[in-house]
A = this chain, B = another copy of it.
């Protein structure tokens, strides 16, 4: 019997899930639609059946030791998904309570960025670290903060919302209803907004003038920056500046050994790492300079969120 943890990553469109061993290897994975069911109960039933079907595809006998879940607005303390704006299920969703109907093993839930942080600690680049920060750069900016080897959940389960520290009190409108939040600058959407601001303010020639806002992606900006497009390059410089400045504040809070960048925009490599690190170091007080590493996540991008979620279970075993 091989021990595996189920990892579930609930996204706005798809819910991905998989069977993950203690080294973070994916044994099998699949997905279902998140949007098909208006209510949580039929969704949970379909999800459970799909997981059972996945287990049947494996020849060897498996022992499921628990279910780890990453979900938007997931609350670790209560096991609930709370008022997630991008999900159909409204209000407080009792995910872990409902999960008990299907599993006699523990179900542990948190948000996706916290799950990535735990994944980094259990399988990834933070295996030997007690104090680090994981930053997920996707459509928005998520984060998980680890202190003394434990994830920081805060008194209510919602700590680590670095996407919503403020860069500019008169800045860009954020989906959270406020202005100038970090994620309106440092995220795949943020860098698109920066490109459009630069296209408006500058007269420089740029291949990026050929894209609509909806068609433009962070990967396209990255590709043009590698071809020395001036707007694309300036957009990365500005994004790195904003991220670096705010990471200096984060270091003044928890003084982490490393900050890991994870997700789409992090794949731009030096284009994002170099300016972020430069501006971060320039804005650190002397006592913190040249101490905190800025690193690429070591979680495999494919299924990383599922692996992260499964790590919630494996971490309890350590």
Contacts and interface: CB of A to CB of B under 8 A. Distances in A.
Given A161-B287, A164-B285, A169-B245, A155 B253 contact: no
Interface string A280-316: 0001011110011000000000000000000000000
Nearest to A180: B283
Interface string A169-213: 100000011100100000000000000000000000000000000
A162 to B, nearest CB: 6
Contact of A161 (B181, B245, B285): B285
A279 to B, nearest CB: 10
A130 B252 CA distance: 20
Interface in A246-289: 248-250, 252-257, 283, 285-288
Interface in A226-258: 245, 248-250, 252-257
A160 interface: yes
Contacts of A286: 176-177
Contact of A160 (B160, B181, B253, B256): B253
A162 B283 contact: no
A121 B111 CA distance: 29
A87 interface: no
A171 to B, nearest CB: 12
A92 interface: no
A248 B166 contact: yes
Nearest to A292: B155
Interface residues of A, number: 46
Interface stretch (A7-15, A18-26, A40-48, A145-153): A145-153
A257 B161 CA distance: 16
A12 to B, nearest CB: 18
Contacts of A181: 285
Nearest to A178: B285
A159 interface: yes
Interface in A61-112: 73, 82-83
- Tell me which of A73, A166, A249 has the highest count of chain B C-beta atoms within 10 A of its own C-beta: A249
A155 B177 CA distance: 35
For the complex of A and B, the 5 pairs showing the least CB-CB separation, nearest first, are: A154-B255, A159-B255, A155-B257, A165-B249, A131-B155
Given A155-B257, A158-B287, A249-B249, 18 more contacts: A131-B155, A131-B159, A147-B147, A147-B148, A147-B152, A148-B152, A152-B254, A154-B255, A158-B288, A162-B252, A162-B253, A165-B253, A166-B249, A177-B285, A178-B285, A181-B285, A253-B254, A254-B254
